[in-house]
């Protein structure tokens, strides 16, 4: 064990040296994640809308690549953070994709909340050219991403995960967990977010009803938060975003709907009876159709307020 620890220590030391890292996808969560890599490593970024990459690089020692392929050239580690696994496959294997440019021994770390089956397919394709793959979805939202305090859920082989650790540690200061083989990180992330969605939907319905019944919004929320129905949604999101009426846009509801689909696919694949998660998925899909692709994930509260003609402020 000591020898193993010693080996690990050596490996950590090697990988804490500056590496050539490329990051594809500077969206709401991708940009703050990438910001933690720029100092310790030689960072290249690529974003579909180039202006966002230019703005990210401005004032930092960061190179902007014109294509995913250019970002892949010379990269030891390549991170992706895109809406779904479909876009990950596109930027890796599509026209001017990064995969063809990666050399044997390179590692792809996918921070997308992707789906396990696609991740296994991507990993197998990359393995054909000696490139490793680790799924590394994150949790904690934009504010914790800015502080580098995300939870990171790793799926991959032991050796690849060990290599990924020093990189994800830079933004995963809350917790980094090796869940299992490729796709395991994406599976846990999908279920986690389906639970988040269930909480949002149930809390928006229940709190709206309480307010319509004449209970003060603040009293309702404070009482629940001192009781057994408390959750991250009621303890953090509702006070910060609903009671204040701030409703900032940080995570698209469309992406949460996608996560509910990943969780439900897993439930079905495993032959587990899942009527509650099926209902959550159906409601999320309905809200996505009604509110649009840009709506925030807390907008079910605003929709519920509007439908009931009440205001959850206080």
Return the number of the residue (11 or 52) whose C-beta is nearest ligand NDP: 52
Name the maximum alpha-carbon separation found in the chain. 66
Question: What is the closest distance, in whole angstroms, from the C-beta atom of residue 157 to ligand NDP in the complex?
Answer: 22
Return the number of the residue (51 or 213) whose C-beta is nearest ligand NDP: 51
The string of DSSP letters for 121-154 reads: HHHHHHHTTT-EEEE--EESHHHHHHHTB-EEEE
Paired with 132 in beta bridges are 107
Rounded CA-CA distance 75/70 in Å is 9
Tokens of 101: 């440019």
Residue 154 interacting with ligand NDP (CB under 6 A): no
Among residues 11, 15, 42, 83, which is the contact residue for ligand NDP, using CB under 6 A?
Answer: 83
Question: What is the closest distance, in whole angstroms, from the C-beta atom of residue 169 to ligand NDP in the complex?
Answer: 17
Return the number of the residue (70 or 162) whose C-beta is nearest ligand NDP: 70
Question: What is the closest distance, in whole angstroms, from the C-beta atom of residue 205 to ligand NDP in the complex?
Answer: 23
Q: Give the residue from 101, 98, 106 showing the smallest Cα distance to 76.
A: 106
Q: Give the residue from 210, 198, 203, 206 showing the smallest Cα distance to 283.
A: 198
Question: What is the closest distance, in whole angstroms, from the C-beta atom of residue 104 to ligand NDP in the complex?
Answer: 25
The beta strands (E) that lie in 170-309 are given as 175-180
130 close to 178: Cβ distance less than 8 angstroms = no
Q: Which range, of 5-13, 134-142, 175-183, 198-206, touches ligand NDP by CB under 6 A? A: 134-142
Count, residues near ligand NDP per rule CB under 6 A? 26
Residue 262 interacting with ligand NDP (CB under 6 A): no
The site map against ligand NDP for 208-237 (x = CB under 6 A) is ------------------------------
Return the number of other C-beta atoms located less than 10 Å from residue 212's C-beta. Answer: 14
Rounded CA-CA distance 199/15 in Å is 39
Among residues 27, 155, 172, 185, which is the contact residue for ligand NDP, using CB under 6 A?
Answer: 27
Rounded CA-CA distance 159/6 in Å is 15
The site map against ligand NDP for 33-72 (x = CB under 6 A) is --------------xxx--x--------------------
Q: Which range, of 28-36, 169-177, 213-221, 227-235, touches ligand NDP by CB under 6 A? A: 28-36
Which 8-state DSSP code applies to residue 100?
A: G
Residue 138 interacting with ligand NDP (CB under 6 A): yes
Q: Give the residue from 26, 33, 75 showing the smallest Cα distance to 53.
A: 26
Contacts to ligand NDP by CB under 6 A? 25-30, 47-49, 52, 81-83, 87, 90-91, 112-113, 138-139, 141-142, 250-252, 255
């Amino acid at each position: 064990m000591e020898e193993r620890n010693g080996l690990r220590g050596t490996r950590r030391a090697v990988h804490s040296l500056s590496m050539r890292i490329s990051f594809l996808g500077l969206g709401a969560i991708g940009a703050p994640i990438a910001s933690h890599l720029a100092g310790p490593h030689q960072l290249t970024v690529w974003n579909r809308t180039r202006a966002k990459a230019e703005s990210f690089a401005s004032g930092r020692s960061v190179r902007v690549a014109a294509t995913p392929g250019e970002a892949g050239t010379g990269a030891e580690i390549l991170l992706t953070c895109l809406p779904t696994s479909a876009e990950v496959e596109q930027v890796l294997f599509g026209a001017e994709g990064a995969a063809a440019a990666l050399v044997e021994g390179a590692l792809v770390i996918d921070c997308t909340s992707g789906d396990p089956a696609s991740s296994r397919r991507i990993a197998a394709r990359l393995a054909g050219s000696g490139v490793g793959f680790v799924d590394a979805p994150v949790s904690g939202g934009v504010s914790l991403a800015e502080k580098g305090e995300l939870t990171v859920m790793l799926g991959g082989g032991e050796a690849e995960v060990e290599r990924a650790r020093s990189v994800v540690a830079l933004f995963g200061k809350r917790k980094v967990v090796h869940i299992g083989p490729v796709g395991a990180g994406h599976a846990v992330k999908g279920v986690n977010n389906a639970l988040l969605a269930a909480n949002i939907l149930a809390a928006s319905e229940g709190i709206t009803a309480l307010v319509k019944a004449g209970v003060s919004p603040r009293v309702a929320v404070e009482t629940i938060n001192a009781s057994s129905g408390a959750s991250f949604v009621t303890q953090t999101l509702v006070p910060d975003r609903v009671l204040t009426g701030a409703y900032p846009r940080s995570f698209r509801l469309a992406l949460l709907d996608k996560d509910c689909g990943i969780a439900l696919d897993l439930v079905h694949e495993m032959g587990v009876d899942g009527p509650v998660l099926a209902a959550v998925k159906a409601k999320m899909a309905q809200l996505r159709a009604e509110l649009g692709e840009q709506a925030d994930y807390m907008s079910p509260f605003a929709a519920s307020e509007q439908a009931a003609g009440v205001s959850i402020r206080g």
